[in-house]
Amino acid sequence: MPKKVVPESERRRRRATKGGVVLSEQLIVETALRMLREHGSAGLTARRLGTALGADPSALYRYFRDMDELTLAVGDELIGRALEDWTASTDWRADLRELGLRIHAAYLAHPQAAVLTASRVSGRAHEIAADECILGVLHGAGFPPPDTVRVYHCFIDQTLAFAALDAAALALPDAARRADEAVWQAAYARLPAATHPHIASAARHLIAEMNISAYPRALDMLIASAAAQLASG
């Protein structure tokens, strides 16, 4: 059974932990991000997190019902970092592009956390604020509500899907990632035109393109399609 969450006003400890710090949601989330970066998802447990914080693991449940709620808070923190200092301009295309690139970059800065959270919906403050910003950009561009939602849906799913894909590659052990990157040169570039004419004709372009993220280009294509839809009325 999920543990009862202590009301916000009563959550903060009255005394410091053994490490000399006062616990807070923010401190726990930041420590969880650090542990994910250093040890991967397997290293994020209540016991290890409590040790890192210098607190009894049970103290975590004064702030989060369980480790899954903490995971959602970690994802929300990444979105919050993407929105830091962002302000809208008068160009909806530039605004949408910047928001997408910011969200994608925030996840890639913490690939282990991104793998855990990019597919989740938290309903927390930063996620809601991001959705309000994106919908506001589209509404301001002149999209009617049904089209606003459809473009938003494509935009956010594309952004998070690329974040999850690109983060998963970054989260691989270095040797595995380098081996995957080498396949385009080692295998595809050597396929003969007699048996694989289309791969052979595109080989040098595949080598140049396939080890970098396609997200910026895919984002530009999505925005161009949305702009064309808007212009057509």
pLDDT of the residue at 132: 97
Closest CA to 76 of 135, 12, 30, 21: 30
Distance from C-alpha of 159 to C-alpha of 143, rounded to nearest angstrom:
20
Same fold, 8-65 and 87-232: no
- Can you give the residue ranges of every domain in the chain? 8-65, 87-232
Closest CA to 33 of 145, 134, 110, 106: 110
* Amino acid sitting at position 9: S
Find out whether 158 and 219 touch, Cβ atoms under 8 Å: yes
For 87-232, CATH gives 1.10.357.10
Find out whether 19 and 53 touch, Cβ atoms under 8 Å: yes
Q: Can you give the pTM of this predicted structure?
A: 0.88
Q: How far apart are the first and last CA of the chain?
A: 52
pLDDT of the residue at 157: 98
Query: Mind listing the pLDDT tens digit for each residue in 98-149?
Result: 999 999 999 999 999 999 999 999 999 999 999 999 999 999 999 999 999 9
* Token code pair at residue 30: 């930041």
pLDDT of the residue at 233: 78
CATH topology for 8-65?
Arc Repressor Mutant, subunit A (1.10.10)
pLDDT of the residue at 16: 61
Low-confidence ranges of the chain (pLDDT < 70): 1-20
